[in-house]
Chain A
Amino acid sequence: MSEHAESDRPHRPLRRRNIVDGSRGHFGPTMTPMVDVVLVILIFFMASTTIAGREWFLRASLPEPHENMPREEGSRFVLPAPMIRVEVFTRNGAVLVNGLQDRELLIHEAVSVIGGLDDSASEGIVLLIVGADDIAFAEIMRLHDAASAISMRVAIE
Chain B
Amino acid sequence: MRSVISGGAHGGRVNVTPMIDVVMVLIIFYLLVGQLAIDRRTEIKAPITATGIVETQERDPITLGVHRDGSLTLNGEGIGLARLGGELTGRILRDPTLAVRVRADRGAPFGEVRPVLRAVREAGIDQVELVTEQGP
Residues of A at the B interface (CB closer than 8 Å) are 7, 10-14, 32-33, 36-37, 39-40, 43-44, 47, 51-65, 88, 131-142, 144-145, 148-149, 156-157
B50 & A149 in contact (Cβ 8 Å cutoff): yes
Chain B neighbourhood of A157, CB < 8 A: 114
Interface size class of B (residues with CB under 8 A): 35 or more
Total number of A-B contacts with CB less than 8 angstroms? 150
Q: Per DSSP, are chain B's interface residues mostly helix, strand or loop, or mixed?
A: mixed
Residues of B at the A interface (CB closer than 8 Å) are 9-11, 13, 15-18, 21, 24-25, 28-29, 32, 36, 46-56, 66, 101, 104-111, 113-114, 117-118, 120-122, 125-134
Known pairs A58-B52, A132-B110, A136-B109; A11 contacts B10 (CB<8 A): yes
Chain A neighbourhood of B18, CB < 8 A: 32, 36
- The 9 A-B residue pairs whose C-beta atoms are closest, nearest first, are A133-B111, A56-B52, A138-B106, A131-B110, A141-B47, A145-B49, A36-B21, A62-B121, A57-B129
Nearest CB in chain B to that of A89: its residue? B110
CA distance A122 to B66 in the complex (A): 31
